């Protein structure tokens, strides 16, 4: 079976008032909520309610905005706003979608109210995607080997480690800030510095990607030609843009992620449409690692399982 890969990169920020973040300058974890998750193929989902309508939502750390299918929006009785649109860029290119404002979304048993969501005709695999417009307001403990995602209110302090029994390695990060917002604002993207075949790369950790990707442009800088890629097995890709795409499997020599060395990793090389990073670390990486992501503190920790 060929792997299915999903890439969801949306550019609209929404409001998550009930989750909320700590005020700028404050730190410290002030509460936890464990999300019961269900595996949908390579992805993870959580049962939710959207204005009283049930919805199965993928947890998607690669999506900037939360997405709902049109069917869920109709069931919830929400109205489309065709004047406020989102340009969604991912596998297949860029497309424009309307938005809707919902009064209350239950993320597990955690209320998020109100929220502006992107509306698509259909969403692959599930009824929608929970993006980082909501998830970025908490610290995320992603422990898929143990079957759970834990939301920690507040944010990790600069001199603290995650509250894990097992040791973890902190990755160097680069925060991409929204335009015209103060430096204390939450980043639009939080990327990790890694090495791939000895070359420095920026990686996004993406629970919405069924497998790990390398940008075609970065592979070219490593000396991998289009002719060489053509000899690799093709992989049909599905994402949030209406058109699909095809990538190629390629075996690299090694990846260094923190102190860990991955020998001969096989990743999909595809066009990532100049999103500002070189690598997507997808569910093949996350199913054997525990990851802590703190957008507020701009810190990422990983630990192999």
**pLDDT tens sequence across 60-99:** 999 888 999 999 999 999 989 888 888 776 666 677 889 9
Res 17 pLDDT > 60:
no
Res 22 pLDDT > 50:
no
83: tokens are 């004047």
Grade residue 267 by pLDDT with cuts at 50, 70 and 90: very high
277: tokens are 């990073």
- CATH fold of 189-304: Cathepsin D, subunit A; domain 1 (2.40.70)
End-to-end CA distance of the chain: 25
CATH of domain 8-13+32-159: 2.40.70.10
User: Residue 174 belongs to what H/E stretch?
Assistant: strand 173-176
SS3 57: strand
CA distance 75 to 69: 10
Structure confidence at residue 241 (pLDDT): 54
Cross-strand pairs, 292: 141, 301
Please check whether the two domains, 8-13+32-159 and 189-304, share a CATH topology: yes
- What does the mean pLDDT of the chain come to? 85
User: Residue 291 belongs to what H/E stretch?
Assistant: strand 289-294
SS3 105: strand
Domain boundaries, the chain: 8-13+32-159, 189-304
Q: What is the pLDDT of residues 147-205, one digit of tens each?
A: 999 999 888 998 899 998 778 999 999 998 877 777 677 888 999 999 999 999 999 99
Structure confidence at residue 7 (pLDDT): 39
C-beta of residue 216 within 8 angstroms of C-beta of residue 190: no
Structure confidence at residue 297 (pLDDT): 92
**Residues above pLDDT 90, as percent of the chain:** 51
Q: Return left, alpha or beta for 141; rule: phi > 0 is left, psi -120 to 50 is alpha, else beta.
A: beta
Among residues 47, 26, 301, the alpha carbon closest in space to that of 161 is found at 301
Structure confidence at residue 242 (pLDDT): 56
User: Residue 220 belongs to what H/E stretch?
Assistant: helix 216-221
Mean pLDDT calculated for residue range 260-288: 93
Could you count the other beta carbons within 10 Å of the beta carbon of residue 34?
13
Q: Is 100 exposed, middle or buried (0-12, 13-18, 19+ CB in 10 A)?
A: buried
Structure confidence at residue 89 (pLDDT): 66
């Amino acid at each position: 079976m060929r792997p299915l890969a999903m890439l969801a990169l949306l550019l609209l920020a929404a409001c998550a008032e009930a989750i909320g973040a700590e005020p700028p300058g404050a730190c410290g974890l002030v509460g936890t909520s464990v999300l019961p998750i269900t595996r949908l193929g390579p992805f993870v989902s959580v049962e939710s309610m959207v204005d009283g309508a049930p919805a199965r939502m993928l947890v998607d750390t690669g999506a900037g905005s939360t997405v709902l299918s049109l069917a869920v929006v109709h069931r919830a009785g929400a109205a489309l706003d065709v004047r406020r649109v989102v340009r969604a860029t991912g596998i297949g290119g860029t497309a424009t979608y309307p938005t809707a404002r919902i009064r209350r979304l239950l993320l597990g048993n955690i209320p998020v109210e109100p929220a502006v969501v992107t509306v698509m005709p259909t969403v692959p695999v599930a009824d929608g995607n929970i993006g980082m417009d909501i998830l970025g307001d908490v610290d995320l403990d992603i422990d898929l080997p143990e079957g759970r995602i834990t939301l920690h209110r507040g944010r990790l302090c600069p001199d603290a480690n995650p509250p894990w029994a097992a040791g973890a390695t902190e990755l160097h990060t680069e925060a991409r800030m929204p335009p015209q917002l103060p430096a204390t604002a939450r980043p639009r993207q939080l990327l990790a510095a890694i090495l791939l075949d000895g070359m420095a790369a920026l990686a996004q950790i993406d629970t919405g990607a069924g497998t790990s990707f390398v940008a075609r442009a970065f592979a070219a800088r490593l000396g991998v030609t289009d002719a060489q890629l053509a000899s690799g097995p093709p992989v049909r890709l599905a994402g949030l843009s209406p058109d699909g795409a095809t990538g190629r499997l390629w075996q690299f020599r090694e990846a260094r992620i923190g102190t860990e060395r991955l020998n001969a990793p096989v990743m999909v090389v595809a066009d990532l449409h100049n999103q500002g990073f070189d690598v997507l670390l997808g569910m093949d990486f996350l199913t054997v690692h525990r990851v802590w992501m703190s957008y507020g503190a701009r810190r990422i920790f990983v630990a192999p399982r």
